[in-house]
Chains A and B, each alone.
Chain A
Amino acid sequence: MEIVDCYCGIGPWRNRDGLLPWRPDEILGLMDYFGIARAVVYGCSSASIAAAPDGNTALRARAAAGGDRFLPALTLAPNPYGPPLTAADYAQELRAAGSRAAWLMPQPGKQAHGVWDWLIGELLEMCSEARLPLLLDVEAITPDDVHRICRDHPRLRLILTGIGYGCDTWLYPLLRRHPELRVCLGQFYIPAGGPMLFLKHFAAERLLFGSGLPHFSPGGLIAHVMYAAIPDADKEAILGGNMKALMQEARP
């Protein structure tokens, strides 16, 4: 069973706690211990104050240190000043980086960007056209934002991270309404009943393993899947097969 972590960051960020790892070699060491073959990685500095362009440059350099174990996922951000870094430019950059997944990292506050379609719609369409899985953390957005994104871009392969164990109230209706919406386990989508409950309602293809490294450790989430009373094929899909399939289909 090849475990692929779809939710992993590398590199520094500004408010790091001393307990947390950040160097690529530290992350690789943890991946070895937890049996994670490959990780789809974002640049942690991209998540700090919406520093997407510089974070992407640093990410490409750091990801190279991991050989084929780090799969870089560039962070997309609107650019009010025009080229470079239009949607077409990002597509070119994704191709150059060998990136088959991307992140959107909206930030709260007026000096950053939200998920307003008039601002990021072009980027979302580019991802839809390229069948590029797009990761988005729900921390800075609302369930209604997710609904509007999926409604306006129905082909977008959106993967939500940061879903909590108590979010099924709004998550299940969104999953029923939007077939291309998917859920990452990290950091804490761990409702009682776990994958067994989820699979009673949705196909295993909609659930993906992602740890939240370097902030969060993968062990509990791996056990959460391995102890689930579901077929081995579904465990394999959740722990890595689903993300691999999505990336194979991506054509940035």
Chain B
Amino acid sequence: MTALVDYARRGLPLADVPVLDAHAHVGRMPNQAACPLEAQVEEMDRLGIDAAAISGELALTGEFERGNDEVADAIRRYPGRFYGYCHVSGNYPELIGPELERCFAMERFRGIKVYQVGCRFDDPAFEPAWEFAAARNAPVLAHTWAGDLTGLDAAAERHPQVNFMTAHAGSGLAYRSYLAVAERLPNVYLDLTYSREHTNMIEHFVERLGPDRIVWGSDAPCFSMSHQLGKILFARIPDEAKRKIIHDTAARLLGVE
């Protein structure tokens, strides 16, 4: 059996290895070249990524409903390749319930995406989202940055039946606060999606927390899928741990067969 690092060393697609990207997007980042969905799928094929869980880039501009529509469109256009996160915001609490109901009535929406901009995760405005997540067994992918979890730990403590993924875990080399929360709360998972790759950090996360509590994501089309997948494949951890990170843990959370 080929060692997973050798795929990356040679630029070979992970054709015989299941890969699920737990943190990706669809649409265009405002400060970047357009990345058509076809190109995104081509890149998934080139790397051997079977499927990606996506949210809409438009949500970053406040256009949550239109962003969620882009997700639904991608799911329809490429059957079997995408799962959806419904993006909701504590800044628009009146939209949370209806938008979650609307999205989850559509095919393959499996999770909830949230940002903390303007509203902390422990703000009561987010409570309907956490209650929905508990009722539907839907995981939450929460944007965090540089060790500031902006209330995610309090929300996770109040809702132990909801699984929370901390996006960009370890960003800014602030890995200690992420580990402290994940070690204390079993419903908190680390998402390694991050534009940089601090030396020894992935290895440290795996050693301390284990791969069953860690997921990866490409953040595509914000940035390179190959960089994000490559840092897992090159990590100095056992292949079994890599397989869990690049597929099994996220598949379990998102209910993917």
For residue A190, which residues in chain B have a CB less than 8 angstroms away from its CB?
195, 223-224, 227
CA distance A229 to B209 in the complex (A): 36
Whether a CB of chain B sits under 8 angstroms from the CB of A23 is no
For residue B33, which residues in chain A have a CB less than 8 angstroms away from its CB?
168, 191-193, 197
Residue pair A193, B227 in contact (C-beta under 8 Å): no
Residue pair A223, B221 in contact (C-beta under 8 Å): no
B197 in complex: contacting residue of A21, A194, A220, A229, CB < 8 Å: A220
Within the complex, the shortest CB–CB distance from A105 to chain B, in Å, comes to 19
Within the complex, the shortest CB–CB distance from A30 to chain B, in Å, comes to 7
Q: Which residue, of A33, A219, A224, has the highest number of chain B Cβ atoms within 10 A?
A: A219
B223 in complex: contacting residue of A20, A165, A222, A235, CB < 8 Å: A165
Closest partner residue, chain B, to A17 (CB atom):
B173
For residue B47, which residues in chain A have a CB less than 8 angstroms away from its CB?
227
Given contacts A168-B32, A222-B234, A228-B226, contact A216 B196 (CB under 8 A): yes
Residue pair B198, A19 in contact (C-beta under 8 Å): yes
Residue pair B195, A227 in contact (C-beta under 8 Å): no
Given contacts A192-B220, A224-B226, A227-B11, contact A166 B31 (CB under 8 A): yes
For residue B35, which residues in chain A have a CB less than 8 angstroms away from its CB?
192-193
Whether a CB of chain B sits under 8 angstroms from the CB of A111 is no
Given contacts A17-B173, A226-B8, contact A216 B199 (CB under 8 A): yes
Closest partner residue, chain B, to A185 (CB atom):
B227
For residue B226, which residues in chain A have a CB less than 8 angstroms away from its CB?
194, 220, 223-224, 226-228
Residue pair B223, A19 in contact (C-beta under 8 Å): no
CA distance A194 to B226 in the complex (A): 9
Residue pair A191, B32 in contact (C-beta under 8 Å): yes
For residue B227, which residues in chain A have a CB less than 8 angstroms away from its CB?
190, 194, 220-221, 223-224
Residue pair A215, B199 in contact (C-beta under 8 Å): yes
For residue A227, which residues in chain B have a CB less than 8 angstroms away from its CB?
8, 11, 46-47, 226, 229-230
Within 8 A of B (CB), among A177-201: 187-188, 190-194, 197
Whether a CB of chain B sits under 8 angstroms from the CB of A169 is yes
Within the complex, the shortest CB–CB distance from B146 to chain A, in Å, comes to 13
Closest partner residue, chain B, to A213 (CB atom):
B199
Q: Can you list, as one digit per residue, whether each of B182-209 has a CB less than 8 Å from chain A (1) or not (0)? A: 0000000000000111111100100000
CA distance A222 to B226 in the complex (A): 9
Closest partner residue, chain A, to B11 (CB atom):
A226
Given contacts A168-B33, A187-B196, A191-B223, contact A223 B229 (CB under 8 A): yes
CA distance A151 to B126 in the complex (A): 52
CA distance A226 to B236 in the complex (A): 19
For residue A218, which residues in chain B have a CB less than 8 angstroms away from its CB?
234
Residue pair A223, B233 in contact (C-beta under 8 Å): yes
Whether a CB of chain A sits under 8 angstroms from the CB of B228 is yes
CA distance A193 to B32 in the complex (A): 10
For residue A235, which residues in chain B have a CB less than 8 angstroms away from its CB?
11
Whether a CB of chain A sits under 8 angstroms from the CB of B222 is yes
Given contacts A192-B221, A228-B226, contact A223 B200 (CB under 8 A): no
Residue pair B32, A166 in contact (C-beta under 8 Å): yes
Closest partner residue, chain A, to B233 (CB atom):
A223
For residue A191, which residues in chain B have a CB less than 8 angstroms away from its CB?
32-33, 223-224
Q: Can you list, as one digit per residue, whether each of A12-24 has a CB less than 8 Å from chain B (1) or not (0)? A: 0000010111000
For residue B228, which residues in chain A have a CB less than 8 angstroms away from its CB?
220
CA distance A110 to B177 in the complex (A): 33
Residue pair B196, A222 in contact (C-beta under 8 Å): no
Within the complex, the shortest CB–CB distance from B177 to chain A, in Å, comes to 13
Within the complex, the shortest CB–CB distance from A156 to chain B, in Å, comes to 27
Q: Which residue, of B8, B197, B200, has the highest number of chain A Cβ atoms within 10 A?
A: B197
CA distance A145 to B199 in the complex (A): 30
For residue B201, which residues in chain A have a CB less than 8 angstroms away from its CB?
19
Within the complex, the shortest CB–CB distance from B43 to chain A, in Å, comes to 8
- Besides A192-B225, A227-B229, 19 new A-B residue pairs in contact (Cβ under 8 A), listed by A number: A20-B199, A21-B199, A30-B199, A35-B9, A166-B32, A169-B31, A190-B224, A191-B33, A192-B33, A194-B227, A216-B197, A219-B233, A219-B234, A222-B230, A222-B234, A224-B224, A226-B8, A227-B11, A227-B230
- Residues in A lying within 8 Å of B, measured CB to CB: 17, 19-21, 30, 33-35, 164-166, 168-169, 187-188, 190-194, 197, 212-224, 226-229, 235
Offer 8 A-B interface pairs, CB within 8 angstroms, sorted by A. A17-B173, A35-B9, A165-B222, A190-B227, A220-B228, A222-B9, A223-B8, A226-B11
